[in-house]
């Protein structure tokens, strides 16, 4: 077993991640109970903390899959501890995604853990390592929306329901963006092992700019509309309405004038 080749300390869950989980739990409780005087602040802290948890799990999924595929170096790098401070690009992995959520309500694909690809044999393994991260976002979205598609919303407070809806939107946008076959994103990592060496060499210089290219395209109204139509369709399939995601985002931006319906509506 490859896990036997890593030290136990390399696989111990970081206190930093435990702390983030604690913040998620406490603010989730405050959102559910209405304990906070300003519900928008509780929603903001709950969604932000839960979003960081999902980013940690995204990167952990890449690392854990790489470990079982032959790259035992991920343990020594701290990737298996779920500590966001251990990621190769903490700015890209944590800070920028949170900033984009605050600014525009978009789940920005995070940065990357550094995988030593030379240790891994087999194209399917390389593809699976790349796919593991966004698949985690898909799973997170399914879990967040379980009360909706299970029709189990009786007794769920409106603010908590709206927060879950917005959190699910972030997961869906992150999954869709990450699965795009654009250099620098996980979607390209899935297909890259199956491309010829000449194509790889031609594409490689564009990898650092792939994400910027995608967000530039999202400024085009027609592309932006098509993208969010896809997101809305996925959320509707999970039982979430446009109104619920709107109210979640509205509450999340607690520093703005909150929509009265989203404050008191159910």
Positions marked active-site:
59
Contact 186, 109 (CB under 8 A): yes
d(CA 162, CA 251): 8
Read out DSSP for 145-163? THHHHTT--TT--HHHHHH
Return the ∠ at Cα 209 (arms to 206 and 214), rounded to 5°: 115
CB distance 159 to 248 below 8 Å? no
CA 206 distance to own-chain centroid: 23
Residues sharing a CB contact under 8 Å with residue 135, sequence separation 6 or more, in sequence order = 61, 175
CA neighbor of 46 nearest in space, from 101, 104, 84, 100: 101
Q: What is the C-alpha separation between 234 and 240, in angstroms, rounded? A: 9
Residue 109 · residue 179 · CB < 8 Å: no
Q: Distance between CA 172 and CA 234 in Å, rounded?
A: 8
10 Å Cβ neighbour count for 18? 12
Going by C-beta distance under 8 Å and a sequence separation of 6 or more, which residues neighbour residue 68? 2, 3
The three-class DSSP label of residue 46 is: helix
């Amino acid at each position: 077993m490859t896990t036997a080749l890593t030290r136990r300390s390399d696989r111990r869950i970081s206190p930093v991640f435990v702390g983030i989980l604690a913040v998620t739990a406490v603010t989730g409780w405050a959102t559910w109970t209405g304990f906070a005087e300003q519900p928008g602040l509780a929603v903001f802290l709950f969604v932000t903390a839960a979003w960081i948890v999902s980013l940690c799990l995204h990167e952990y999924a890449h690392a854990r899959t790489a470990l079982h595929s032959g790259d035992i170096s991920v343990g020594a790098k701290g990737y298996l501890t779920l500590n966001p401070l251990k990621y190769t690009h903490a700015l890209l992995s944590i800070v920028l995604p949170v900033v984009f959520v605050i600014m525009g309500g978009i789940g920005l694909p995070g940065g990357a853990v550094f995988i030593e690809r030379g240790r891994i044999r087999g194209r399917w393994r390389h593809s699976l390592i790349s796919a593991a991260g966004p698949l985690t976002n898909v799973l997170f979205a399914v879990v967040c929306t379980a009360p909706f598609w299970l029709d189990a919303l009786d007794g769920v407070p409106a603010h908590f329901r709206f927060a879950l809806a917005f959190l699910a939107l972030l997961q869906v946008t992150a999954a869709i963006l990450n699965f795009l076959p654009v250099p620098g994103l996980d979607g390209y990592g899935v297909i890259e092992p199956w491309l010829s060496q000449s194509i790889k060499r031609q594409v490689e210089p564009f990898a650092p700019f792939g994400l910027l290219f995608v967000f530039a395209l999202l400024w085009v109204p027609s592309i932006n509309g098509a993208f969010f139509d896809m997101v809305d369709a996925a959320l509707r399939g999970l039982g979430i309405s446009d109104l619920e995601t709107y109210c979640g985002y509205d509450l999340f931006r607690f520093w703005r004038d909150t929509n009265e319906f989203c404050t008191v509506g159910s």
